[in-house]
Amino acid sequence: MSSNYYEILGVSPDATPDQIKKAYRRLARELHPDVATGDGAEERFKDVSRAYEVLSNPEKRQMYDRGVDPAAPGGGAAGFGGAGFGFQDIFETFFGAGPGAGQRGPVPRARRGQDALVRLDLDLADAVFGAHREVQVDTAVVCPTCQGSCCRPGTSPRTCDVCGGRGVVQRVARSFLGQVMTSSPCAACHGYGTVIPEPCPECSGEGRVRSRRTLSVDVPAGVDTGTRIKLTGQGEVGPGGGPAGDVYLEVRERPHEVFVRRGDDLHCTLPVPMTAAALGTVVELQTLDGPLELDVRPGTQPGQVVVQKGLGVGRLHTGGRGDLHVHVDVQVPTNLDDEQTELLRRLAELRGEERPASRLARADGGMFAKLREKLAGR
């Protein structure tokens, strides 16, 4: 086989590093001992690997172009499997990515902050009409001393001496392919590629400090218990002065002493005397919109519902408002005197509704009658 490394890989002497790598990967797939069949495949694979070892290294390729073979005995090469050989490229050829893939460079020190969830207690009127509220949150903000740089003022990060700023360190490990170069995050700089020689004294090198902030929020009409309002970018600042997260305000609606909410509608109970329900009347009802004169029709029955359009809760997504449902509670008198009892009895006679008197009523009437007689001295 030819000893010309360019001919072995099938590339021209002016081939680019990418062309050399592609040619090597193609031949490695064809000639690898675990894949290729036939005599001489293993030797050809070694020749291809040796050619790639030289031509993929700029210094060794320059020596080779000047007529010195770095891979030859005494040529200064480390040999097959020595330092500088791209076994990671072999790994990528068969598996698509070498060990430590995804860690080919330093990770950024600045990262996004976390989101925050804060409870927002509201009265029913706030949910009906919407409101403007101010909320206090304890969160992380950019350090005012270092402005997120993590360093003492006047200093700056220093390139890591262990990894040389790459954020990863490489080690040689053995595998079924032989020696494989693996990568792992640098323990000295934790993968950042830089170290902080003099951390900021206020934030201890975090780039952020804890602080209490006041946030203003416009609560839309129609929110309900469980509704979440998102305040974009108002959460905690990330490590290293990274972008802030979001704040979610979770609504909790306080119970109302008069009205009960059911979706976009409001419900309440209106007590009406029996005579007023029979004769009809006008009752003043205090609503969330102010006092309302409610007409109770003559003959209104217990449990009857009077609907007032547009006096309910504002609709969150579609606009407009729900309705107010007034449930009439007809109150039957329980402490009638003799005159009132006689009037009702006469009314029953006139309406043809006479019924035998209750035994309890007769017993009670007899007892009270005796008591009245005793008090009167009879």
Q: Would the annotation count 268 as a binding residue?
A: no
Q: Would the annotation count 151 as a binding residue?
A: no
Beta carbons of 282 and 306 less than 8 angstroms apart: no
Q: Would the annotation count 200 as a binding residue?
A: yes
3-state helix, strand, coil in the chain (%, to 5): 25, 30, 45
One-letter amino acid identity for 271? P
| 212 phi and psi angles, rounded to 5 deg | -100, 130
Residue 134 has which token pair?
């101010």
Positive or negative torsion for Cα 274, 275, 278, 282? negative
Residue 26 and residue 310: Cα distance in Å, rounded?
75
Phi-psi region for residue 271, left (φ > 0), alpha (ψ -120 to 50) or beta?
beta
297 secondary structure, DSSP code? P
Residue 8 has which token pair?
């072995």
Q: Would the annotation count 143 as a binding residue?
A: yes
Residue 214 and residue 347: Cα distance in Å, rounded?
67
Neighbouring residues of 44: CB distance < 8 A, sequence distance ≥ 6: 1, 31
Residue 198 and residue 186: Cα distance in Å, rounded?
20
Q: Would the annotation count 189 as a binding residue?
A: yes
Residue numbers belonging to the annotated binding site: 143, 146, 160, 163, 186, 189, 200, 203
| Residue numbering of the annotated binding site for Zn(2+) | 143, 146, 160, 163, 186, 189, 200, 203
